[in-house]
Structure formats: structure tokens, C-alpha cells
Structure 1
Amino acid sequence: MYNAVGGSTIHWGSHFPRFHPSDFRLNSLDGVADDWPMDYFELEPYYDQNDRMHGVSGLRGDPAYPPKPERPTPPLPIGPGGELLARAYNKLGWHWWSADNAVASAAYDGRRADVGEHLRSPSSSDIIFWPRALKQGARLITHARVREILVDETGRATGAAYYDRNGDLQAQYAKVVVLACNGIGTSRLLLNSRSALFPDGLANSSGQVGRNLMHHPCGYVMGLFDEDLGPDDGPRGSSMLSQEFYETDPRRGFVRGYDMQISNVGGAPLQVALGGLVGQQVEWGEGHHRDFAERFRHQMGIVIMTEDLPEEHNTVTLDPALTDNHGIPAPKIDYTVSDNTWAMLDHGIARATEVLEAAGAKRVVSSRLRRNAGWHLLGTARMGSDPDRSVVDRWGRAHDVPNLFIIDGSIFTTGACINPTTTIQALALRTADHLKGEGSSAIS
């Protein structure tokens, strides 16, 4: 949950992978969840457009995907540690590839190259999308907290009620309302937008608003090497990835798969001393400097990002007592990691350990489930063709409210096992085209 102009891309890893074609067809292929009411190839032109807008860095030809156009800018370096792991993947005969990143590696579209930026990508949404919107006449209101979506007596959305920076309640009226508040914020807002026409929350005749919350539970494996792997000056998210175990293989004991994301985890000295993502701190006392020297500039890490299947018992509801300082009910999250995901995590930890050992790591430590994972908030206003089983249609348009659209990760039917940002943005671009074209009837 991140409130800023540019959203959570103000502080993100900039890792920019696409879904696979199979991710839109889980029910047809694997008999789980539901198929999306669209496929990869319908979204592909918007993936391409979004890559061009961002100046994505990457390497063309990844065999895990259908052919992509030439990446707008060259791939970011994988560094000495990445080269070690690449040789290990080759030795094992497993897929790896240079990762797509929303960081331009060369001057692009008036923006400077920024290979070593850690905290703020030059392709954050405040830089890519907002200037274009403002140039076209959009008006940006900051320090606004929306309480509810307003509707008229016919059930059409008329705008939003929000508290301004002074805490005064205001109303913004519109012919079309578009929500982009993520899998927690959108469901919270819809559930709080109750009325006589929508007693269970707006757009919730299916009862699906707030259900099927998906994260991406992550394991983490870190290897310590004798070699000096240099400073952590690559992409913050992932310099390379392996999708060897992405698709379903029934022999593994779980459905669907996981993504391996590889990065140099040298980090700043304090980050290393505190144990980084594994959380195992450098020891105190006489062995402190020895332990620190063994880790600093000598670490490589592999994140195991799993596919979290939609389950109705994973929910976002309104807390009956807790509110924010404007009296708006807080979201209450009820979420359990599934047995399928635990099996996936265990398999991924074992495979990542194999890679690091094949690369020559002298010691390997792991965390079965990263406690600071769960930042991908997906699936609580799911897309589908059946209004009894979904909240929005294939364009993100609410089944119950003809001029209400949702363009964030809450509309994901399934979550895949990769970062969702480029898919969220591609869907938003597609919905924008729909609104300009055949969807313009929503405005009238």
C-alpha cells in the first residue's frame, strides 16, 4: 500500500517480465482456477507499447516466451556473480536469461541512462505516464483520500467522495470512474461504497469483491563465495532470471510453478550486517569483522517467486472496528499460504541450492518464506465472462456498473509467478483504447 504520485513504482525493483501464454489458460491446461476472458496474444501489442514507453532494457530471444521485438535498450549487466550463476545454469542444463528491467540502459526518450539507480527507477509512473496525462489536460489532486464511489438512482457511477488535504469532504463528479488502488485498496473502496442499490458493496452482486486475494509467496536462497563479486551496482530487482520450473509438471507434486530471480545481493554495509533478505545477522563480538568480510561483496541470491492460486478464503474485508483518521474502515486481510505453494517453495529452495552449489558457493543459507514478501496485491475484483463468478468483464468494466472500470492488479483472474507491473500497465493501456473506441458508450 503506497500512496504517492506514481504509486508503488516510486520505490520498486523495476523487474519487468511478462506473463506467459499459459498464464491466461490455467483451467484449460491444468484444471485449476479459471481461464482469463482474453489471451496473451490479445495483450501482446500493449506489452510492446508499454516496453517502448518505458525504454525497457533487455535481450531479445528468450526461449521461454513467444518472440518479442528488439528490446528498446540493451540489457543491464549481470555482473561477475551473474556470470558465475549463468555458468551453473548451463552446467545443469536449465533455462536462464537476462532480465527485462524498466530501467533504460541508454539515453532514451529524453531521459538519461541510469544503470546503477537503486531506489528510484527512471521509468517510474510519475515520469512515464503522468507528464503525458498532464500535457493532455488531466488535473492532478494530491493529498486526497477517497471514501466511496458515488452512484445515482440508476446504478451508474457519478464520481467519488474524498477528503482533501484539510480533511474536508469533497466530491469529484465524472462520466466514467476508473479505479487503480491495488488488490487491497480497490476492494476496500468498493466494499465501503454501500447504498440501497448496492447493500453488499459496489459491483459486488457476485460476492467476489474482496475474495481470491493473491500475493507471490517468496523463498530466498543466498550463496557465499570466495570470489569478490564486486559492488551491488546492477538493477535492484533482478539482473537475470530462470523460468526452468515455470510450467506445470505433475511429477513435482504441485500445480503450476515458480520463477527464479537472480541478483547481486552485496548491498550497503548495514544491509549486509543485518542479514539482508535471509535475515541472518552478522554475528556480534570477536567474530563480527570476520563474518562481515566473508559476506560483503561475496554474496549472490536467488528469489523463488511462486504462483499463488486464487482461493476464495483469502479475503479482504472491512474491519468492524479499526478505521483511518477519517473514519473510513480499514481493510482486514485473511490469508493462508496453500499446501500447493508450500510444496512449490520447498522444490524451489532445493533447486536454487543446487544452482549455487554448482556455481561454487562455499556456504548456502535459505529462508523458506520471506517475511517481507506479499507486496503484489492481486485478484480481489477478478476479471471474467460470468457475472456470477467475477467482478469485471474482459475490459475491466464492472458487470454491475456500466461506467465503472478497474485497471489495477485486483482484476487479475490468476497471478502467474512473476512481477505483475507490466501486465497491469498493459491492461490499463488496453482499457484506455477500449474507452476511446467501442467502450465510449460508457461515457454517454
Structure 2
Amino acid sequence: MDAALEEDVYDAVIIGSGPSGAITAHTLAMAGFRVICLEQGDYALSSDYAANHDMWELVARGHWQAEPNRRGNPADYPLNVSDTDLAPSMYNAVGGSTIHYSALWSRLAPSDFRVRTLDGVADDWPISYDKLAPFYDEVDDFIGVSGVEGDTAYPEGLSPKLPPMPLGKLGLKAAEAMNELGWHWWPHANAIPSQKIGSLAACARWGTCIQGCPEGAKASFDMAYWPAAIKADAKLVTGARVSRITTNESGAATGAAWISKGTQYHTRAKQVVVCANGIGTPRLLLLSASEQHPHGLANSSGLVGKNLMLHPNCTVIGYYDEDLESWRGPVGSVISSMQFFETDRSRGFVRGPKLHACPTPGLLFNGIDPHRLLPFDALWGANFHHVIRDARNAIFWGANIDDLPEESNRVTLDPDLCDGDGIPAPKISYRYSENTLKMRSYVMGKLVEIHKVAGAKKLVEIVDLKGEPGHLLGTGRMGQDAKTSVVDEYGRAHDVPNLVISDGSIFVTGGAANPTSTIAALALRNAKQLIATLNEAN
């Protein structure tokens, strides 16, 4: 191991190499600052992706399983999920959980930033959609988002750089049903290039996006940002499990202590940027308690780890007589709908879901067996051809449920469970709220309605969709008041000015949109402000 990692004082040490860590490293390095990123996982090689193997769906349920407790890779840390309604998904590797994401690329809506003002619940963000829009645009252009401009669910100006993915037979079928109902729909934007751009290839429609793209066409951030960041001289260290953020007598952050292959190291830096996701970040802050920060680093508000939001999802899978080529990728949504995402109190709940129509490539897609209502033996023999035919004639209409923050939903340190280096593991305490359950029940009815209008011959309703998503939000929320938030609008910890948090934990509300686009935009905004801070210090 390079001795300079301990002797040097970097301008910034970044913890976690997912989308926010990659963008932060790239932005700071391009501005000429010396940055180092510590990642406890390693590179995920495209040659190892499940799609390269025979019986790839079974392979995907082992090493590529989305839930760390079931996967058990050496880079993972375990989670105590005995007190949660939903087991979180995440992945430790260069690029973070974007190795696993389906690359649906949607933004929060303007109303998501003003939930307290509009609906009288939760809290408003300290920033608006308009403030974040330029950063959304910059990230979109860099990675090459595919889509169609003019979505009426968003303000003017949202214009993806690349042409959209084909709607295909499935998308046309789904869109026709929405037209008949008179409901909003739009071709979904995807962080998957329809044409080659930068280090990313054009989509070849493998349909295996969630277990990694063998084509190198999905904007997982090991591909989308890290090559450019490393070219700009950002340093990336893999296999580095951070055990605590170190501080000095005044309580300021001084760097990160970490372990690699049983050896302990310490990397010093002027600024510490935490990008370890909505579970890993509060875990690390709580692990970093000290005399100056007795309840955990940056936790004078007592909110570190609280207000966990997970986006519980549901789906109705419909099977049709015609061949919809449901095996074609990308796995992410071909069309989406924001028909019900704004509050309508006559429905009995506040806020609302985002709907999306997706392919169903393979019989065991995402660990779901759509024929699981049949006995195992009924899937084979004479029935096998019927099973195959049904699988390619299906539409997976799913919904993201807007998961409002509640302090009782939280991440704490487990008193007994530890990772492979003896570091306390997180315990997840999370229960569905009454608002969540009402919203989910309502949207299940709407998904059934769409399928019936479209002429589905059979429906499988899955109210509690396991194994997804990896939307880990809200456990280090931003705000203007240090008593009611952890960081300010630029991710700077109220208690520790040289500590920045730039992942999904700083969300104030979760919205119904897939969050990676917003995580990326926030990280870019935070990084540009950090450049100004470092320049002032120099």
C-alpha cells in the first residue's frame, strides 16, 4: 500500500465511489484539486456479469443478488433486517449500486421540494427545482441520457441529449391503454445511451440491465464518470473499508481511518465528503462519535439515521395473447406516468406514485417468478412452452410509492452484528406508514385498470415487491436550521463545516421519482460549492 496515502494531506477524501462519489471526484479533480476516493468494494468486471453465463437468471440470484444479506460478497456488510417491512438493496463496488440499477432517469418534480408548503406534511427543501435544474442538465448531457423533450409533467427545458429508446411492441401496447384512459404518459428517460457517447456504448437491448450491462452501454458510474475522473488525476483506492471519520480537538474532520486486508490506515484531508448511501453514511457518522461529537459525528440535531425512506414498490404483471417481445431491453421503463403523483386528498392520502411500464425479460426476472402461483412441477414438461410464451407476452406495470419521512424509520448501530472487520453493522427499523399503505392500495387498482383496458388475459398482483429498489434516502437531511437538519443546502454539516454529505441521505422528502438523477445533480452542485470553499482556503 502506498505510504503516501497516510503521509499526504489531500484537498478532499471521498468515501464511496457511487454516483455522488464519482461526480465529486471528477469535479474536484478537473478543477485541479488533489482528491482520493476510498471504496470498500472493487471493480465489477463486465465479463463477470450474469448475462455472460448459461442460465444467467439463476446466476443473477447468487453473486448478483441485490440484497447484501442474501448475496454475501466479501465487500458487503450485513444488515439487521429483523425490524423492517422492506429489506434494502445496495451494492459495494466502483460505481456503487448503479451496477445494479435499471437506469431509469427521472427527476423530482417542483412540488416535491415544497411538500410542507403545498400539503402541510414533512418539510420543504432549502432549495427549489429551479436551483437544481442546471445541475440536472449538466449531468444529463455528460452521461448522454436518452429520452424525449417536452414531458408535460415537468417545467419547460427538460431536453435529453440523445434520442429515446424504442417503445417497441410493449411500449406501444402500454401507451395505447393510457391514451384510452386519458392519462398522462411519456417515453421514459434512461441513463442508457441510444448512441455511443464518451466511454459508453450504444444499447444493444440485452435486457439484463439490473445484473450489469455486458455491452458497456448502461451509465453505471464506474463507466459514466470514473474513467474521466481518473484521467483528471483523481485517485481511487478499492478494498478500503472506512471505519470512522477522524476529528481533531476542535471537532473538525481530519480524514478517514480505514482497513484493507486486515491492515489499518489513515488518510488525511482538508475536506471529507461522505457518499456512502442512505444507510452507509449514517452508519459511518454514528461510528465516528468522539468527545466533541458524543452522539455521532454531525448529530447535534439527533437526526442522523432518522427519516429513512425506501420507496416501497408494487406491481401488476399482465399477460397478453399477442407477442410483445417482453424480453427486449433495456429493463428500465419504456413509458412512465405521473398522472397520480400530485396530491388529491379525495384519494385519502397525500402525494402520489410514479407509474412505469417495463419489460419482463426472462422467467425469473429480478427474482420474481410470475408463475409462482403454480406448483413447481407445473412450470416444466408439457407446460414449459406455455410458460415461455406467457413470459414474452407480458407487461410489468410497476409503481414507486412516495415514502414520506418519519423519524421512527431509522438506521442505528446493531449492538451485536458486525462486518468482516469487526465494525458494527447497521440495524434497519422501518415500517410502512398508513399513508404509504393507502397510496399503494390505490395505485394497485389503477395498475389493474390499465391492464384490463389493454386486454390482458391474466394478471399477477404483487403488492409487496421484494428485492428492490435501492432507494436509500433521508437519513442526513438538508435544511437551514441546525436543530432540524444535519447539513445545509450544499451538503455541509452544520456541526462540522469541513464535512460534506453528497448522497441520497440528504433528501428531505423522497418523491416518487427514481432518485439517482437527483443524487447526481445534488452531488455536482455540492462539489462546485466545495471548489469555491477550497479556493477561498488557499
TM-score w.r.t. the length of structure 2 is: 0.79
- Matched residue SS, 1:276: coil
Alignment of 1:33-432 (within 5 A): 33-109=122-198, 111-117=200-206, 118-119=208-209, 120=213, 121-164=217-260, 166-265=261-360, 267-271=361-365, 275-276=368-369, 280=373, 283-285=376-378, 288-289=383-384, 291-432=386-527
Deviation larger for 80-89 or 203-212: 80-89
CA distance in 2, matches of 1:158, 1:133: 23
Q: Deviations over 1:365-385 (max 9, x none)?
A: 201111223421100000111
Closer/same/farther in 2, CA of residues 314 and 57 from structure 1, 3 Å limit: same
Query: 2:362 is matched by which residue type in structure 1?
Result: A
Residues 1:18 and 2:18 are matched in the alignment: no
- Matched residue SS, 1:302: strand
- Matched residue SS, 1:227: coil
**Contact between 2:326 and 2:394, CA under 8 Å: does it hold in 1?**
no
Query: 1:132 is matched by which residue type in structure 2?
Result: A
- Matched residue SS, 2:139: helix
Q: CA deviation at 1:137?
A: 1.5
Closer/same/farther in 2, CA of residues 173 and 113 from structure 1, 3 Å limit: same
CA distance in 2, matches of 1:303, 1:443: 48
CA distance in 2, matches of 1:306, 1:34: 18
**Contact between 1:76 and 1:234, CA under 8 Å: does it hold in 2?**
no
Deviation larger for 105-114 or 56-65: 105-114
Q: CA deviation at 1:399?
A: 0.3
Partner of 2:35: none
Residues 1:6 and 2:95 are matched in the alignment: yes
**Contact between 2:326 and 2:393, CA under 8 Å: does it hold in 1?**
no
**Contact between 1:222 and 1:278, CA under 8 Å: does it hold in 2?**
no
Uncovered stretches (5+) of structure 1, i.e. residues with no partner: none
CA distance in 2, matches of 1:340, 1:396: 29
Partner of 2:17: none
Q: CA deviation at 1:270?
A: 4.9
**Contact between 1:275 and 1:282, CA under 8 Å: does it hold in 2?**
no
Query: 2:377 is matched by which residue type in structure 1?
Result: W
- Matched residue SS, 1:176: strand
Q: CA deviation at 1:70?
A: 3.2
CA distance in 2, matches of 1:443, 1:142: 29
Query: 1:359 is matched by which residue type in structure 2?
Result: A
**Contact between 1:104 and 1:115, CA under 8 Å: does it hold in 2?**
no
Closer/same/farther in 2, CA of residues 190 and 62 from structure 1, 3 Å limit: same
Query: 1:297 is matched by which residue type in structure 2?
Result: R
Closer/same/farther in 2, CA of residues 394 and 320 from structure 1, 3 Å limit: same
- Matched residue SS, 1:41: helix
CA distance in 2, matches of 1:85, 1:129: 33
Closer/same/farther in 2, CA of residues 30 and 78 from structure 1, 3 Å limit: same
**Contact between 1:282 and 1:291, CA under 8 Å: does it hold in 2?**
no
**Contact between 2:363 and 2:370, CA under 8 Å: does it hold in 1?**
no
Equivalent pairs counted in the alignment come to: 440
Q: CA deviation at 1:440?
A: 3.0
CA distance in 1, matches of 2:373, 2:255: 49
Query: 1:145 is matched by which residue type in structure 2?
Result: R
CA distance in 1, matches of 2:527, 2:502: 9
- After superposition, the CA RMSD in angstroms is 1.8
CA distance in 2, matches of 1:335, 1:110: 39
Q: Deviations over 1:323-376 (max 9, x none)?
A: 112111000011001110111011101001111110110111201111223421
- Matched residue SS, 1:301: strand
- Matched residue SS, 1:284: helix
TM-score w.r.t. the length of structure 1 is: 0.95
Deviation larger for 81-90 or 115-124: 115-124
CA distance in 1, matches of 2:221, 2:480: 30
- Matched residue SS, 2:377: coil
- Matched residue SS, 2:346: helix
CA distance in 1, matches of 2:158, 2:170: 28
CA distance in 2, matches of 1:251, 1:390: 32
**Contact between 1:382 and 1:412, CA under 8 Å: does it hold in 2?**
yes
**Contact between 2:343 and 2:349, CA under 8 Å: does it hold in 1?**
yes
CA distance in 1, matches of 2:385, 2:195: 39
Closer/same/farther in 2, CA of residues 194 and 251 from structure 1, 3 Å limit: same
Deviation larger for 102-111 or 9-18: 102-111
Closer/same/farther in 2, CA of residues 97 and 173 from structure 1, 3 Å limit: same
Q: CA deviation at 1:393?
A: 0.3
Closer/same/farther in 2, CA of residues 109 and 225 from structure 1, 3 Å limit: same
**Contact between 1:256 and 1:307, CA under 8 Å: does it hold in 2?**
yes
**Contact between 1:396 and 1:407, CA under 8 Å: does it hold in 2?**
yes
CA distance in 2, matches of 1:93, 1:385: 41
Uncovered stretches (5+) of structure 2, i.e. residues with no partner: 1-89
Query: 1:276 is matched by which residue type in structure 2?
Result: D
Q: CA deviation at 1:233?
A: 1.6
